[in-house]
Structure 1
Amino acid sequence: MPQLIPFYFLNQLSFSFLTLLALIFIFSKYILPLFTLQQVTRMYIVKLGNKS
């Protein structure tokens, strides 16, 4: 059935696009702020360690 091939590729494209959007949202909302918080915490610990 060659007439179904465009729908297959459109389905793949839309699924990939939605997956990419979901990954970007999850990383920006939950994962990347934790790395920023970790770096800030390390910086404060190093600064406190240098004062003594």
Structure 2
Amino acid sequence: MPQLIPFHFVNQLSFLLLTLIALIYIFSKYILPSYTLQQVIRLYIKKLDNKN
């Protein structure tokens, strides 16, 4: 049924956008701050090690 093809693409696009928004939110809220904290801790350890 060719009448339903545009709706199929709209459904795929909306699912893609929702998935991208969800992934960006999850990465920015939970995953990336832990990497930033890890880098800060490494920097402080490096500074403490250089003072000795």
Q: TM-score range by the shorter chain?
A: over 0.9
In structure 1, C-alpha distance between the alignment counterparts of 2:24 and 2:50, rounded to whole Å:
37
In structure 2, C-alpha distance between the alignment counterparts of 1:23 and 1:39, rounded to whole Å:
22
In structure 1, C-alpha distance between the alignment counterparts of 2:46 and 2:17, rounded to whole Å:
42
Q: Give the corresponding residue for 1:43.
A: 43
- Unaligned residue ranges in structure 2 (runs of 5+): none
Deviation beyond 4 Å, 4+ runs, structure 1:
none
Q: What fraction of aligned residue pairs are identical, expressed as a percent?
A: 75
- Unaligned residue ranges in structure 1 (runs of 5+): none
Q: Residue 22 of structure 1: CA displacement?
A: 0.3
**Aligned-residue CA RMSD in angstroms?**
0.3
Return the TM-score normalized by structure 1.
Answer: 0.98
Return the TM-score normalized by structure 2.
Answer: 0.98
In structure 1, C-alpha distance between the alignment counterparts of 2:5 and 2:17, rounded to whole Å:
18
